[in-house]
Structure 1
Amino acid sequence: MSLIRFSVRQVVLVNLSFIVLMLAGVLVSNRIPVDVFPDISFNSAVLITPWPGASADEVERLVTRKIEDEVRDVAGIKEWYSFSSEGLSEINIEWEETLSKFEQQAALNELRAAIDRVADLPTDVDESILKELSVSEVSNVCMITLTDVGNVGEYTLRELARGLERKAERLQGVRKGNLMGARDREIRVYVDKSRALQFDITLEEVSAAIARNNINLPGGTFSSDSRQETTVRGLGNFASPEELASTIIRKSPDGHHITLNEIASVESDFEKRRNYGYLNGQPSMLIGISKNSGSDIGQVVQRVRDLVSRESGNLPAGVETRVIWDESNFVKKRIGILRDNLALGVSLVILVLWLTVGFRNSLLAIVGIPFSFLTALLLFPVLGITINLLSLVGFVMVSGMLVADAIIVIENIYQHIEAGEPVTEAIVAGAEEVMWPVISAVCTTIAAFVPMLLVSGTSGQFMSILPKTVIACLAASLIECLVVLPAHYLEWGSTSRAADALAKADSKSGIRTWSHRVRARADATIDSLRSAYVRGLRRVMRHRIAFLLACVGVFIFAQGLSTRVRVDLFPSDFNQLFVSIETPIDFSIEESNEVILGLEAALEPLADEFLSVSTYVGQGMSAEERPIFGSNYGVFYISFKDSEQNIADPGRMVGLVRRTLEAHRAENPYGIEKLIVVPPRNGPPIGKPVAVRVIAEDYDRAKQVAASMKVELSSMPGVFNIEDNMPVGRRELRIGLDDYRASLHGVSFDRVGIALRGANDGLVSSTYKDPLSDEDVDIRVLLRKEQRDSAGDLIDVELRTPGQYRVKIEDVGTISMSRGYQRLYHFDAQRAVVVYADVDNRMATSISANEALRARFADVPLRNPGMNLAFGGEFQATNRTFEDMGRAFIVALIAIYTILAAQFRSYLQPLVVMCVIMFAYIGVIFGMYLWGYALSMYVIYAMVGLAGIVVNDSLVLIDFVNKERERGTPALDAVLIAGHRRFRAVLLTTVTTVAGLLPMAMGLSGVSTVFGPFAAAIVAGLCVASLLTLFAVPALYLSIDALRSNVVNRLGLGSPKSDWVVPGTP
């Protein structure tokens, strides 16, 4: 018993299975997390080693180099790069793509062991932090702000923010909270240098005395007479700042106890200010919230909102709290756009099918979409897929394929009913006639997508969600098409011929009569088009060689046109943006704060466009689009309203903000060195459009080449935000050691360094446990402000020699003033300078800019021995992705060819069928060019899906030709008969798919920069491919058939058979 006949005989079983799968899909869908993007690992790790107070040069020499020497021996590392900046060493490691999760974890453990082996690091270097990078690790799903609108003060705001952070971290699904803008408390001991010298006490000795007196020591245990053991502990912790002030520093020669309050003042304060935070101009603190992997973004953000709502009622007057930077709104809005466009598209599809195959048949075709979607959702947990932007794109792509397969089956059943066959036999015969072509069509589409899972790197891992979604939906659709659809047709499908239905309707009145008449006219229109097509096909067959050559010419033209189509791997679709600001390098945090607040005020005319503007002074975005910290940086976090205009063109807000700030900068140029508006990217981190590494051990030579590159880039239209990653650092007062004089006094360099740090930033001697807040508060010992405000004050600091006398720093050191670099960059342990630039895709592309730069500087390695150029960033990612996609596409073509060869039992016919892929490519290129869209990863995957749709039409057409040839029909007549029979199905497949996706392509129910180009690619490609399929496939078939017959005749290989397919094709 065939599968189709089983379906029509077991209708009850089929319907129950259908209902169970649909309900199970609904239940599972409510448990599948919703994300903006798939939570993937970036296949990388980052190692951060803080060294407070150190210059970039010191960090490079004494920390980064030593760690790199150990890291280079760790197995499994593909490449690494490092940044040595003021007070921080950061090493980024990318693993080999072939490593499994287990091997990657082993490599991570080996890396930890390598870090532990690093010897001779400076004593005051903080412990290294090693962590893996993933989407959930680096991105916030929302931010909580606490704003001081009533001058409650920094301490109150900080305590409220810390409490709210702790509560947020306890919420289900929250990974962690990151409090920004809050300073730690400190107890500051301001030493009076003159009083200390009067008592012959150095700063270092004050710090040591405090540390000695602020410690708890275990004293062991002792047994009493009652044989009970008692723990002994010596308590030396300070109970209060007042007790600290009474600490005895030393005994004077006359027996007087010198206490701390005699030579210093003790104040409870905050640590040195390194940042300011504001929300819409008011002092504020931010709490970034990240979620656990696998948690639903909407549910997590809602829990955070509920918490903020509850806590807002408990806040004191003058403090406001709210949630900003809500990523779940982005998801909801995009899902809404998808839903509305799909609803409109499905309505159009129902209308088209109603007019062509009847209302009930149209519903039978449409029901395959929700069934396939819900059944595929059952597989999502197994495949590790969440509901995110990529899986939604997969649903959009596959929806056209699902309708196409159902139409082929329904239309063929309908033709058998029109021929007067009994309903049951018509269903079995009609479905079985196209069963193998439909199976082959689905298998070829799956075969096209499976190799896409082989694309390597973060981009491949990111995009793998799309083919997984498509494959799951196609597998479900095959079950629906061959098992569920025949049973449904038997019970609910149209079982009367159109002529009979119209005759019956003539005796009645009302809506049904009107619908039958409209349907009859639609059928008459299709019949007229079919007759015109057959006449046209007959003429084309007479001139088929010329027609095929014209098709080749159009393909060549499209190939040339493709060079004028923009390339943007991951187009941005956003409702938020960053503005990174940089003030002069020598600006204090207070000076930068004043300048940046002035910039924020310039945005007030745009307030109606914004949801919020959050300002953070002391942090910016580097050229690598990563957070950097310093007193001359600032950043705006801007959330703008999801108006229809902003969604259609998010770049509008980027331009509006940029023009507004640049206008303010033109009027107030003082203090603004750099101003960059940065929209977030919708995809994995692939780097800047231009990112060229100039690798050389001599930084000065590398900087010269980098400067020439920046000049060249500035002359290219559409290239902007040109910079390198080695900005000049702040002024440095460099105090070296005179070896001879230092040896006379027995002074080492580390002692000089400690004395300098103590005089300037201070020495953290120990920690005080606040009994009220249970907070650990550092005790910092430093000179009074007025005694350390010049270079002379610093070198006048004294330290104790081994001979117990004091010596000034200027007596053992050398002094110079210079500037270093703010950050030093290494690539695979080699020094390098990186030139970065952004590209306006309307005027240039990453590829064009990099290729021009590569040609201009091709001779640099020849003229500079030891220097190399490496082109990275988006350009490298694009090339790697296209190479991987090219290999995957070849594998897909081989797989499709193999399936078709098995279907047709022929070596040549699969090539005829597959030629339509070329036609689809022509349509996509024309569509992208005319619509003005960029060629993105989503469009490339749309081309793969499009290949499955158009191959289906061509496959079924050739299958019908073969069946006619087996009956003895001549080649030309077989082609004409097959074209006549399949015209309706090809037309309906094209019209319904275009109708379903046209609202999204045109943005009729909401525009999306991701969904729009994707849908437009399928619409344009399908229209061109379907038109050419109806003419070019028959022409190519007859041409190859004629060529084969001529070869057989000329070689005398026997009686030439007109057909070239083995009889008995499934």
Structure 2
Amino acid sequence: MALLLKNAFSGLVLVLVVLALFLDLRLAFWVTMGIPTAFLGSLIFLPAMDVSINMISMFAFIIALGIVVDDAIIAGENVYDHMNQGMPFAQAAIIGVKDIAVPLTFSILTNIVAFIPIWFLPGTMGMMFQVIPLVVITVFAISWIEALFILPAHLVHLKNDNPALILRFATALQALFNRGLNRLIVHFYKPVMRVLLEFRYLVVALGIAMLMTSISYIAGGHMGFTTMPKVEAEFSVGRATLPVGTSLEDATAIRHRLERSAQKVMDENGGKALVKGISSIQRNLDGEFIIIVRMFLQPSEVRTMSTKEVSRLWRDATGNIPGVEGIRFSSAGSGPGSDVAGVTIEMRHHDNNMLEKASNELAMMLAGYAGVIDIENTFSSGSSKLNLKLLPAGQSLGLNEKELAKQVRSAFNGVRSIRQQRGSEEVDIKVMLPDYQRASEFDLEQLPVRVGNDYVPLGQVASITRDYSASVIQRREGRRRVIVSADITPSSEAMTLSQTLSEETFPILKQSYPGLDIGFRGDQMEQKESMDSLFINGIMVMLALYCLLAIPFRSYSQPFIIMAIIPFGLIGSVLGHVALGYTMSVVSLLGVLALSGVVINDSLILVTEANERREKDGLGVHDALLEACHRRFRPIILTTLTTFGGLSPMILETSNQARFMIPMAISLGFGILFATFITLLLLPCMYSVLEDIKGVFTNTAYEVEVPLKS
């Protein structure tokens, strides 16, 4: 919790610094104050929605940190501009708010719509992250009230006469910064835009090619994909399963071997600086030994070796152990993103023999894939048992199965002979066979069985056969189920292997074993459910965003060019993950989906300005676009930098505690950066191409000379 509070405070400071570079210091202060106001206001309503202050809800506040300030920037800057034009402060506040009330409201609504799909995520991930849309949407709603009603009231009381020394210094610094920014716009950005508009079709084609390349890069599995971001584990675990019938001495020897190899890894790689300690457990479950050895590692922040690397070294140091049914070295963490088997497959069949053969064949197939290690098969013959069947000779002597079972049970489990007083307690004295007379089947055959007034050996009246009985049988839908799991190195290849298994391996097994039901469980099943949910909800979000944009623009076509920027946010997300060494995950896609409502705000600003310049000033399409780019460059850059600044402390966080949440921040932060770049360069070209197309169908095509020099 303290970690997230630190990141939230750092983000707030960065937002204030960015605002102070662009806005009057007093305006920057009141705009920034809108953030804690929205946060504190949301705390009034969150308890009613059963939302507590925890790591996830704090992360939601950090996500909202850089986004909510955009509304206050738009409202505050518009009111402040009217004040600087000499308008009475009260009148400036009223007119300034009226000017931006409608676009600001639709901007808030698009942000809200983009976060709603997170609420509908299924499974464990949905339960974990559903608090995010509740927090973010509540903060957005409070920020809308703050930007339209509270902020203007504060700005009314600002005074322009005799500013304090610090304000004069800040004003001088801002003037210097703004002169540099204006030179950038006039001498670089506008000339570049003139050239791009001249070659708009080539620019749009290059943009589409760049988008397709990025999508192909992801779809091709080059950067991998996981359900949850992997959190650096707290300890490494070696788990060995021994077959039924393994002696205690052999099991102990295997445990000692695992302990020695763990100690070797510890001694050769820093000793106590890497490993805090080693512990082991040896269990006998109905004749099946399970050995678990743990290496407790130092916190990830203070050691130089990852848990995955420790597990790999431990596996290499142990080598192959004969007589082991299954062995797995895992990087065991805790909480979201903890390491689990890279692939988990469930098999079901009504015939146990076919199920055993199918599970063994699948394990052999998995062993043939590169990078697949530590394969485990939960099918177990179980503990050994002896079945007794009464022979005709026994029946002729008057024995029945119930009487036979009673005598054998008494011989092995004992019968109470007397009850003896020892001090204040009574102790039962049982009579049973000594150990040496029940160590083998031969001893059992010689067991005297009473028949009337005589005794005969058990082997003469009953047959004895050895069999195995599973200690645990799991069933689903009436059929026995078996789990076959394996680790994959690198873990990012799990998605590729899952696809190969679905398309190649599973059909072969189903054909070889009729009636076999096989499918993914665990991570893979949850990943499929999450991806299906994101796909369906993503379509619904796009439809909702289109409707929200079509209303204020009163156009069927212009919402398309605004929404065309959304996929480019994915490119920024991919670049951010690659640059920081993260693997794309479902959490990353949640960030991309939430990004869709944020990136269109800048496009909304630019297209609205271009439309106004055409309607109010009568400018041509290209001239209107150039003027809109000039006027809106500053606010677009400002909103982008505040959003990225608010998220950057979380993006750069190195603590293990926050690692599973960072990919969403990366998607939002780097996505908005890249989408802004596209908005400023590609969107005007797309607008111009759209007008060309409209001109063809309406016979109003225009011809405008675009000078290459200002």
TM-score, with length taken from structure 2: 0.86
Change (3 A) 1:778 1:561: farther
Change (3 A) 1:739 1:434: farther
Q: Secondary structure of the residue that 1:858 maps to in structure 2?
A: helix
Counterpart of 1:397 in structure 2 is 63
CA deviation digits over 1:413-452, x for unaligned, max 9? 3433444434333333333322222211111121122233
Q: Distance in 2 between matches of 1:393 and 1:736?
A: 64
User: Quick one: which of 272, 283, 288 aligns to 1:618?
Assistant: 283
Q: Distance in 2 between matches of 1:540 and 1:426?
A: 38
Q: Distance in 1 between matches of 2:448 and 2:623?
A: 107
User: Quick one: which of 929, 950, 961 aligns to 2:610?
Assistant: 961
8 Å contact 1:583–1:673 — kept in the other structure? yes
Q: Distance in 2 between matches of 1:767 and 1:431?
A: 94
CA deviation digits over 1:920-947, x for unaligned, max 9? 1121122223333122222111112222
Q: Distance in 2 between matches of 1:960 and 1:341?
A: 35
Q: How many residues align?
A: 692
Q: Distance in 2 between matches of 1:387 and 1:590?
A: 52
Change (3 A) 1:682 1:909: farther
The residue identity in structure 2 corresponding to 1:516 is T
8 Å contact 1:617–1:634 — kept in the other structure? yes
The residue identity in structure 2 corresponding to 1:635 is I
Counterpart of 2:386 in structure 1 is 734
8 Å contact 1:922–1:1021 — kept in the other structure? yes
Deviation, 1:840, is 2.7
Q: Distance in 1 between matches of 2:199 and 2:325?
A: 69
The residue identity in structure 1 corresponding to 2:477 is D
Q: Secondary structure of the residue that 1:845 maps to in structure 2?
A: helix
1:581 matched to 2:246? The reply is: no
8 Å contact 1:580–1:635 — kept in the other structure? yes
Counterpart of 1:877 in structure 2 is 526
Deviation, 1:515, is 3.2
8 Å contact 1:725–1:825 — kept in the other structure? no
Counterpart of 1:633 in structure 2 is 290
Q: Distance in 2 between matches of 1:405 and 1:772?
A: 82
The residue identity in structure 2 corresponding to 1:869 is I
Counterpart of 1:642 in structure 2 is 299
Change (3 A) 1:855 1:657: closer
8 Å contact 1:847–1:875 — kept in the other structure? no
Change (3 A) 1:770 1:416: farther
Report 1:859-898 matches (<5 A). 859-898=508-547
Counterpart of 1:1002 in structure 2 is 652
The residue identity in structure 2 corresponding to 1:990 is T
Change (3 A) 1:715 1:530: same
Counterpart of 1:526 in structure 2 is 181
Counterpart of 1:415 in structure 2 is 81
Q: Distance in 2 between matches of 1:536 and 1:872?
A: 53
Change (3 A) 1:754 1:928: farther
Divergent runs of 4+, >6 A: 667-672, 684-687, 763-773, 776-781, 1004-1007
Sequence identity of aligned pairs in percent? 25
User: Quick one: which of 635, 653, 677 aligns to 1:1027?
Assistant: 677
Q: Distance in 1 between matches of 2:534 and 2:40?
A: 29
CA deviation digits over 1:1039-1061, x for unaligned, max 9? 2233223322279xxxx9x9xxx
Deviation, 1:1026, is 0.4
Instruction: Give the structure with the larger helix fraction.
Output: 2
Q: Distance in 2 between matches of 1:614 and 1:906?
A: 68
The residue identity in structure 2 corresponding to 1:893 is M
Q: Secondary structure of the residue that 2:242 maps to in structure 1?
A: coil
Counterpart of 1:550 in structure 2 is 206
8 Å contact 2:446–2:457 — kept in the other structure? yes
Deviation, 1:551, is 1.1
User: Quick one: which of 734, 743, 748 aligns to 2:395?
Assistant: 743
Counterpart of 1:143 in structure 2 is none
The residue identity in structure 2 corresponding to 1:653 is T
Deviation, 1:745, is 4.1
8 Å contact 1:733–1:791 — kept in the other structure? no
Question: Gaps (5+ residues) in structure 2?
Answer: 705-710
The residue identity in structure 1 corresponding to 2:214 is A
Change (3 A) 1:863 1:909: same
Deviation, 1:529, is 2.5
8 Å contact 2:417–2:429 — kept in the other structure? yes
Deviation, 1:560, is 0.6
Q: Secondary structure of the residue that 2:226 maps to in structure 1?
A: coil
Instruction: Give the structure with the larger strand fraction.
Output: 1
Q: Distance in 1 between matches of 2:665 and 2:288?
A: 47
CA deviation digits over 1:787-846, x for unaligned, max 9? 433333444445556x47655533332223455666545442234544321223456123
CA deviation digits over 1:571-603, x for unaligned, max 9? 232553462422533335676456436644644
Counterpart of 1:517 in structure 2 is 172
1:655 matched to 2:309? The reply is: yes
Question: Gaps (5+ residues) in structure 1?
Answer: 1-334, 620-627, 1059-1066
Change (3 A) 1:341 1:764: farther
Q: Distance in 1 between matches of 2:192 and 2:183?
A: 12
Q: Secondary structure of the residue that 1:571 maps to in structure 2?
A: coil
Q: Distance in 2 between matches of 1:950 and 1:412?
A: 21
CA deviation digits over 1:305-324, x for unaligned, max 9? xxxxxxxxxxxxxxxxxxxx
1:1011 matched to 2:661? The reply is: yes
8 Å contact 2:236–2:294 — kept in the other structure? yes
The residue identity in structure 1 corresponding to 2:313 is R
CA deviation digits over 1:156-210, x for unaligned, max 9? xxxxxxxxxxxxxxxxxxxxxxxxxxxxxxxxxxxxxxxxxxxxxxxxxxxxxxx
CA deviation digits over 1:949-993, x for unaligned, max 9? 211111222233333333252333332332222211110111122
User: Quick one: which of 926, 929, 936 aligns to 2:575?
Assistant: 926
Q: Distance in 2 between matches of 1:954 and 1:382?
A: 36
Counterpart of 2:693 in structure 1 is 1043
CA deviation digits over 1:358-402, x for unaligned, max 9? 333333233233333333333333223333443233223222211
8 Å contact 1:694–1:870 — kept in the other structure? yes
8 Å contact 2:326–2:375 — kept in the other structure? no
Counterpart of 1:974 in structure 2 is 624
Q: Secondary structure of the residue that 1:644 maps to in structure 2?
A: coil
8 Å contact 1:1001–1:1011 — kept in the other structure? no
Deviation, 1:554, is 0.8
8 Å contact 2:359–2:482 — kept in the other structure? yes
Deviation, 1:887, is 0.5
Change (3 A) 1:821 1:1018: same
CA deviation digits over 1:721-773, x for unaligned, max 9? 2122214445x242321342342344444554454444445679999999999
The residue identity in structure 2 corresponding to 1:551 is G
